[in-house]
């Protein structure tokens, strides 16, 4: 028999068989991992298996390459904290959906587990929007698509960074980028070297920037494209920030 126990963040559940489901989780030691569990429609199990919840997971299978079975004990019910806040709940669901769709299965991602848990615990703070954008940048880096936002790609003044090149993921100064601004992505003020507070428009620009690279780099070859929860979250945030996204 093969087995392990670990902390885990629930990423998603899909029905499988009569009353059962395949649960996808993110763990520190075992990475993204899927397994079967019974009774997903029961009241207690349904509350435990909401995306973003922290659980104690126990997995067991006859051989290591089998799907195996999960048992869970709830540690922290994060999802219930944001049931009355669709925007923050959308951020939670978006982050979990990105991890479920983008991470290879059964590869350790201790840093990503810690980062996602930190993000979830930050969602009830005022800085949650900026924290979410920074988390997506870290996810892109983990997946091999690191952005360079510390200096100008064209050799311009690093104190005047204003744009991001969609081709290279590198920052561009105001002076160098102004003639081409219609082809560049806005660089949010809070991500510039001199930093600053993040308002809703800045956060939206951060989501727009990360969304571009998620679509054209991470999910370009995926048949389903960027996960629907991520698309919904950006659209919902655009409405809150009163941005014209059409």
| Average pLDDT by stretches of 10, the chain with 246 residues | 94 84 95 90 76 96 91 94 95 98 90 96 96 98 94 87 96 93 95 87 96 96 92 95 62
Amino acid 246: pLDDT: 43
**Could you give the 3-state DSSP secondary structure of residue 154?**
coil
Amino acid 81: pLDDT: 94
Q: Indicate the domain borders of the chain.
A: 2-79, 125-240
Amino acid 82: pLDDT: 95
| Residue 235 CA: distances (Å) to CA of 74, 77, 163, 193, 240 | 31, 26, 21, 28, 9
Amino acid 146: pLDDT: 94
Strand 148-152 relative to strand 170-173: parallel, antiparallel, unpaired?
Answer: parallel
pTM of the model: 0.93
Amino acid 202: pLDDT: 95
| Residue 226 CA: distances (Å) to CA of 88, 89, 210 | 19, 18, 11
| CATH fold of the domain at 2-79 | OB fold (Dihydrolipoamide Acetyltransferase, E2P) (2.40.50)
Amino acid 104: pLDDT: 92
Give buried/exposed letters for 107-145 (b at 16+ CB in 10 A, else e): eebeebbebbbebbebbeeeebbbbbbbbbbbbbebbeb
Amino acid 43: pLDDT: 63
Amino acid 153: pLDDT: 86
């Amino acid at each position: 028999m093969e087995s392990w126990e670990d902390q885990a963040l629930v990423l998603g559940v899909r029905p499988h068989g009569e009353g059962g489901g395949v649960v996808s989780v993110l763990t520190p030691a075992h990475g993204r991992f899927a397994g079967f569990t019974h009774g997903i429609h029961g009241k207690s199990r349904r509350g435990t298996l909401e995306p973003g919840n922290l659980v104690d997971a126990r997995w067991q299978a006859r051989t290591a390459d089998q799907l195996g079975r999960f048992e869970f004990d709830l540690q922290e019910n994060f999802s219930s904290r944001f049931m009355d806040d669709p925007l923050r709940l959308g951020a939670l669901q978006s982050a979990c959906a990105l991890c479920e769709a983008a991470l290879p299965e059964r590869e350790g991602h201790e840093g990503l587990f810690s980062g996602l848990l930190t993000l979830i615990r930050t969602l009830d703070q005022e800085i949650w929007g900026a924290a979410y954008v920074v988390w997506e940048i870290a996810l892109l880096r983990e997946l091999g698509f690191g952005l360079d936002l510390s200096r100008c790609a064209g050799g311009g003044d690093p104190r005047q960074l204003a744009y991001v090149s969609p081709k290279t993921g590198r920052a561009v100064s105001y002076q160098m980028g102004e003639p081409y601004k219609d082809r560049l992505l806005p660089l949010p003020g809070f991500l510039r070297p001199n930093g600053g507070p993040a308002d809703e428009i800045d956060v939206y620009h951060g989501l727009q920037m990360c969304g571009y690279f998620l679509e054209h780099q991470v999910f370009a070859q995926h048949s389903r494209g960027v996960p629907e929860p991520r698309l919904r979250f950006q659209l919902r945030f655009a409405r809150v920030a009163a941005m014209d996204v059409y």
